[in-house]
Structure 1
Amino acid sequence: MKYYFTLLFFLALSTAVIAQDTTPEGSESRDFSARVINAQTQRPLESVHVVNLNQVVGTITDAQGEFTIRAAVNDTLFFSYLGFKTQKIRVTNDMFRFAETQVELTELAYALEEVIVQPYQLTGFLDIDVRNLPMNNAYQYSISGLPVSYEGGNKSPNAVTKVLGAIMNPADLLRNLFGRHPRQMRKLRQVKEDDRIRDLLASKFDRETLTELLQLEKVDIEDILTNCNYSSSFIRTANDLQILDALSACYEEFKVLNRQN
């Protein structure tokens, strides 16, 4: 009987080893290394932002254009660098099997347009120049007793209706926006927790990395923040990290309001 149980033990152990050996290559995350170069000059590119969109981790290339990041087969890596076209690649088994994988980024061609230095003439007389300066047509509406004001856009009856709707039914206005992207909204917390991702987003203003991470269109981001009472100037000038934090704060407030209703 003792021999029988010993035999069963070794049979089970060998089965486990065989199963482990037959596990498809690349099914688990591991360190993936590669090199990023300029497609035109074949020179390495330093400080290229590399983000694993599936696992929400990021890194940057060193002076030799090299980087290492956690990845698994079929993960998508997103590359972005100022002045170069962004690129996405799918990680394959061959990239792990063979060394010296290279990713080539292509330079963007910039067409310089005519720049008007003085869109309006200044006379030097303050009272005249003040009247000639363009005015901000966005109206802020406030109600006594409420600590915040509401931006309603241009002065029109629809602007007032929008403000009243935001006050009376704040969750209803955002339910459709957030309801269309439940998976992306749940991913917000994961994106916020990676310090390297936050550092990358802090230096970006084009929304490209953010839209790839969250799988949202730029217009969706603008709609969400507009309905969360963020001004158009903030949406236009904030860096990607500030936009990420604003989206997260807006979603948390929405969840609270949604539970109350």
Structure 2
Amino acid sequence: MKNYFTLFLTLLCFTAFSQEDGDTIDRKIRATVINAQTDDPMESVHVLNLNQVIGTITNEKGEFAITAAVNDTLYLTFLGFKPQKIRVTNDMFKFEDTKIALTELAYALEEVIVRPYQLTGFLEIDVKNMVVNNGYQYSISGLNVGYEAGNKTPSAVTKVLGAILNPADLLRNLFGRQPNQMRKLRKMKEDDQIRDLLASKFDRETLVELLQLEKVDIEDILSNCNYSKSFITTANDLQILDAISSCYEEFKVLNREK
């Protein structure tokens, strides 16, 4: 009986310690996002849990709730404000009055005249001066993805086939050294809040944080998957995410066949 009692106390203490520590326990964390300059609550701020790849947005009072564990990293973004990364602590679970302040970015605007195409006002002339994206997507029977390969010429088609049959070593190195991050791609694509955020962004900053890749790595991945320079520089972050995901799925198929 004494042994049973000792075992019960041990289990009780272990449970209490685990709950206090909270490192592996997922719970809802609640906090309020405010403007650092005015202390006003901020509505529609995107809050991402980078570890668990889930997202939410703040309500009209600046409040949000998101599932997290101790030591998870929250990434907060709002247009015109500096992104903020917050490490989750035990105190954030104990006290629900946590406030997170975002700092507004300062822009010095000067008079700028933008004439990217040197338009004349005459339709016939201006149409000829417009830059045309000559990137084409190729679909190959048996594959569920397309490949963008520049001009529609026999050499472009050959480039596509070469990419499929002989995957670049660079892709293997990039995908191979971040296998856990690459596995998050599917979760990222399934989370509506993350997709909505990425659809409105073009700076790759959120993708860098989610995938733990450098911007140059993202560009290298897409280049070696035969996406055009025009697509890489002009696509929004959601399109880039979908392109990387398609490339990664094809890479896994090719790796299994090797």
Q: Same fold (TM over 0.5)?
A: yes
Is 2:254 the partner of 1:257?
yes
Distance 1:138 1:241, change over 3 A: closer
5+ residue gaps, structure 2, are none
Is 2:13 the partner of 1:18?
yes
1:37 is aligned to: 34
Residue 115 of structure 1 aligns to which amino acid in structure 2? I
1:49 is aligned to: 46
1:62 is aligned to: 59
**Contact between 2:163 and 2:224, CA under 8 Å: does it hold in 1?**
yes
2:175 is aligned to: 178
1:77-96 equivalences under 5 Å are 77-96=74-93
Q: Cα deviation per residue 1:139-184 (whole Å; 9 max; x = unaligned)?
A: 7799xx9x9776369xxx9x99976853652354522332343332
| RMSD (CA atoms) | 3.3
Q: CA deviation at 1:75?
A: 1.3
Q: Cα deviation per residue 1:128-149 (whole Å; 9 max; x = unaligned)?
A: 5555x1655967799xx9x977
1:229 is aligned to: 226
Deviates most, 62-71 or 195-204: 195-204
**Contact between 2:149 and 2:159, CA under 8 Å: does it hold in 1?**
no
Give the Cα–Cα distance (whole angstroms) in 2 for the partners of residues 149 and 100 of structure 1: 49
**Contact between 2:150 and 2:228, CA under 8 Å: does it hold in 1?**
no
1:194 is aligned to: 191
**Contact between 2:202 and 2:236, CA under 8 Å: does it hold in 1?**
yes
Is 2:232 the partner of 1:238?
no
Q: CA deviation at 1:35?
A: 0.5
Q: CA deviation at 1:9?
A: 3.4
Is 2:119 the partner of 1:124?
no
Q: CA deviation at 1:194?
A: 2.9
**Contact between 1:152 and 1:160, CA under 8 Å: does it hold in 2?**
no
Deviates most, 88-97 or 31-40: 88-97
Q: CA deviation at 1:244?
A: 1.5
* SS of aligned partner of 1:22: helix
Give the Cα–Cα distance (whole angstroms) in 2 for the partners of residues 190 and 221 of structure 1: 18
Give the Cα–Cα distance (whole angstroms) in 1 for the partners of residues 97 and 198 of structure 2: 28
Q: CA deviation at 1:65?
A: 0.4
Which residue of the other structure, out of 201, 205, 210, is the alignment partner of 1:208?
Answer: 205
Q: CA deviation at 1:15?
A: 2.2
Residue 6 of structure 2 aligns to which amino acid in structure 1? L
Residue 56 of structure 1 aligns to which amino acid in structure 2? V
Distance 1:66 1:151, change over 3 A: same
Q: Among the aligned pairs, what percent are the same residue?
A: 63
Distance 1:10 1:102, change over 3 A: same
* SS of aligned partner of 1:170: coil
* SS of aligned partner of 2:250: helix
Which residue of the other structure, out of 93, 98, 103, is the alignment partner of 1:106?
Answer: 103
Choose 1 or 2 for highest CA Rg: 1
Distance 1:168 1:197, change over 3 A: closer
Q: CA deviation at 1:45?
A: 0.3
Give the Cα–Cα distance (whole angstroms) in 1 for the partners of residues 91 and 102 of structure 2: 20
Give the Cα–Cα distance (whole angstroms) in 1 for the partners of residues 205 and 212 of structure 2: 10
